[in-house]
Structure 1
Amino acid sequence: MKKRKLLRLSAIPIIGATILFSFSTEEASFDYNYSTKGLDLFYTVPNLSDMVKGASNLNVYPELGKGYLGFKEALAFKESRGDYSIINQFGYLGKYQFNKNTLKMVGVYDTNEFMNNPELQEKAFLAYTSRNKWVLRRDIKRSVGKVINGVKITESGILAAAHLSGPGSVKKYLRSGGATGFSDAFGTTIDYYMKKFGGYDMSFVKQDKMAKVN
């Protein structure tokens, strides 16, 4: 999934309160607001929606942590600042900036429905990540713990890099010891994603060669 330049940002409707998510990254600490009206963000992680029940008229500060939820929200912020409604200048879609061919791979054929259905976007991200985890299963086993180009390789870094460049490019990178790299049109590299999104626990994501949205 190549990096893209964004055209616009917009507010996101969610449940009945304002939730302010805080992230820590290498570059900065940042906060961004979700307007919470009738929408639950936590489609793929059970029980976390309980954190905001009864939170009307309050600011809630959930700790996203270093699991799947923290991973996907950090990656989404990098891709689109977490905006489900983004379509960039190259036609990449939604919170996780999918192209149409990748969406078809995970069973999404109606891009209008996709753009208007945050739950579908979340399911598509999980399905694609599950597929990439299967494709890269041997490389994950062989490479995690190694240091390549000064970056410690982790499972989450590998899966983030696969979202950036596709799993094939990540295989070439790992099997060449970092000699065969990748950078997108804006100069974002596999090394950068490996480092930026390293160290998350991805045990929630199961390997699934044929993963699709329901």
Structure 2
Amino acid sequence: MIKNRTKNVVLPFVFCFLIALALYPNSTLDPETYSTEGLELNYNISKDMAMVAEEHTTKQNMFTPHLGKSFEGFKEALAFKESRGNYFTVNTLGYLGKYQFGSETLKLIGIYKPNQFLYNPELQEKAFIANAERNKWVLRKDIKRFEGKQISGIKVTESGILAAAHLAGPGSVKKFLRSYGNNNSSDAYGSTVKHYMKKFSGYDTSVIVADKKARVTP
């Protein structure tokens, strides 16, 4: 960084000197007039200041949309938890894609070709919506009954319910709610219904319409 700053100061002087020689070849120019002697060119910047400047520049060059508690925020937060947002990943248990769908769940919403699903991001997004619509229909009475209540130390919200249903299925969510937290299922990696209900609470999922027959057309 110091070298670059020095170049930025010296080069303009050299450039001006060369232009002057080109325009006035017969004139007597005193090189001392263009000397950098005496100029303070050795800039010493502390490591902390350099890091702050670099971080500021990096932030200026980045665009990170703030999705907040919107439905898009809900989808992307859940996808990051499931797969870090990777459409083309398959976990050790064979769950597929950005939202980590199992083959049996895919069949429920009309998808019978896992390979086609894995390499089709648009289809994955449609599958997420259809699955959420179906889960919302299955859990419609429980959403109405328990939304806003405190269960096992967490506030029940629709988005938390839908996230937990995505993790463990709507049946497991029913058991959790109706047992008031005593029946807390988990997946093979240890993520629980309670954890998902808390982590993904408070998002706006009103765009999801409960639909018993929600399907995807590949």
TM beyond 0.5? yes
Match of 1:79 among 79, 82, 86: 82
Query: Residue in 1 aligned with 2:145?
Result: 142
Higher strand share: 1
Match of 2:105 among 102, 105, 112: 102
**Which amino acid letter does the alignment assign opposite residue 102 of structure 1?**
T
Tell me, in whole angstroms, the C-alpha distance in 2 between the residues paired with 1:97 and 1:124: 11
Match of 1:70 among 64, 68, 73: 73
Indicate the SS of the match to 1:84. Answer: coil
**Which amino acid letter does the alignment assign opposite residue 167 of structure 2?**
L
Indicate the SS of the match to 1:126. Answer: helix
- The alpha-carbon deviation at position 67 of structure 1 amounts to 1.7
- The alpha-carbon deviation at position 65 of structure 1 amounts to 2.2
**1:40-75: CA deviation from partner (whole Å, max 9, x where unpaired):** xxxxxxxxxxxxxxxxxx743222121211001000
* Matched positions, count: 157
Match of 2:157 among 132, 154, 159: 154
Indicate the SS of the match to 1:171. Answer: helix
Match of 2:126 among 118, 123, 147: 123
Indicate the SS of the match to 1:172. Answer: helix
- The alpha-carbon deviation at position 213 of structure 1 amounts to 1.1
**Which amino acid letter does the alignment assign opposite residue 213 of structure 2?**
M
- The alpha-carbon deviation at position 189 of structure 1 amounts to 1.0
**TM-score, length basis structure 2:** 0.70
Indicate the SS of the match to 1:60. Answer: coil
Runs of 4+ that moved beyond 6 A: none
**Which amino acid letter does the alignment assign opposite residue 106 of structure 1?**
I
- The alpha-carbon deviation at position 188 of structure 1 amounts to 1.2
**1:58-106: CA deviation from partner (whole Å, max 9, x where unpaired):** 7432221212110010000000000000011111000000011111111
Q: Percentage identity across aligned positions?
A: 64
Indicate the SS of the match to 1:78. Answer: helix
**1:183-205: CA deviation from partner (whole Å, max 9, x where unpaired):** 22222111110110000011111
Tell me, in whole angstroms, the C-alpha distance in 2 between the residues paired with 1:200 and 1:174: 19
Query: Residue in 1 aligned with 2:184?
Result: 181
**TM-score, length basis structure 1:** 0.71
Question: Where in structure 2 are there 5+ consecutive unaligned residues?
Answer: 1-60
**Which amino acid letter does the alignment assign opposite residue 89 of structure 1?**
T
**Which amino acid letter does the alignment assign opposite residue 67 of structure 1?**
S
Question: Where in structure 1 are there 5+ consecutive unaligned residues?
Answer: 1-57
Larger relative contact order (CA 8 Å, sep ≥ 6) = 1
Indicate yes or no: 2:107 matched with 1:93.
no
- The alpha-carbon deviation at position 113 of structure 1 amounts to 1.1
**Which amino acid letter does the alignment assign opposite residue 172 of structure 1?**
K
Tell me, in whole angstroms, the C-alpha distance in 1 between the residues paired with 2:183 and 2:119: 38
**1:114-155: CA deviation from partner (whole Å, max 9, x where unpaired):** 111100000000000000000000000000111111000000
Query: Residue in 1 aligned with 2:194?
Result: 191
Tell me, in whole angstroms, the C-alpha distance in 2 between the residues paired with 1:196 and 1:188: 11
